[in-house]
Structure 1
Amino acid sequence: MKNELDPSQLLHAYENVMENGTPTEFGKIYEGVEAFSDYDGYNIYMRGNGVELRVGFHNTYHIEYDQEHLKESFLKKISLLAK
């Protein structure tokens, strides 16, 4: 995947969910996006509406989705959360 996402924007969206979200089994959920991290905090995850985004060490990321329109909708939501 080409580097189309800004890692600082992703981290800001993650922090917004963690600060304002409601607790879930794995982390917190806010505005339809669930955020959580692995046990050591090196990887953070955000998911919602059939899309999962993992942001790893050295600002790498991987996004999984079944349909392109779901990915686009999810990324718009992440963009709004990053503001």
Structure 2
Amino acid sequence: MSTDIDIRQALRVFQIIVEQGERRGNRHYFKGIYATSGFDGYDVELTDEKVTLSIYFHSRFDLGYKNQLDKEAFLDRIAKIDALRKSKASE
């Protein structure tokens, strides 16, 4: 388990993807990231097919990745999507 994940940021990004993304089956897709949630809404998942961030009840999480470059690219995408929220708020 990694400790360098901003859970609040990840949850904001999840919401952005659900609101602005394209629905693909049971997932939403936006700017390279897929978002899904459990049937009860307590568990959410963000993935780019190389990295998967699973967020559980009480902000527990698992981050699965094969190499550091994939992880960094994923976290960069998350940050860029979150920055869209900030730029939209300043308009």
Greater relative CO, 1 or 2 (CA 8 Å, sep 6+): 1
Change (3 A) 1:54 1:2: closer
Identity over the aligned pairs, expressed in percent?
27
CA distance in 1, matches of 2:64, 2:2: 14
More helix by share: 2
Is the Cα contact below 8 Å between 1:49 and 1:74 reproduced in 2? Answer: no
- Correspondence 1:28-43 to 2 at 5 A: 28-43=28-43
Task: Look up the match of 1:16.
Answer: 16
Following superposition, the deviation at residue 61 of structure 1 comes to: 1.0
Q: Residue by residue, what CA displacement relative to the aligned partner does 1:34-79 show, whole Å, maximum 9, x if unpaired? A: 0010111110001004111101111111111111100110011011
AA in 2 matched with 1:55: I
TM-score, normalised via structure 1 length = 0.92
Aligned residue pairs total 83
Task: Look up the match of 1:63.
Answer: 63
AA in 1 matched with 2:44: I
What is the RMSD computed on CA atoms of the aligned residues?
Answer: 1.1
User: Which consecutive residues of structure 1, in runs of 5 or more, have no partner in the other structure?
Assistant: none
Matched, 1:81 2:81: yes
Is the Cα contact below 8 Å between 2:51 and 2:65 reproduced in 1? Answer: yes
User: Which consecutive residues of structure 2, in runs of 5 or more, have no partner in the other structure?
Assistant: 84-91
Runs of 4+, deviation exceeding 6 Å: none
CA distance in 2, matches of 1:64, 1:52: 5
TM-score, normalised via structure 2 length = 0.85
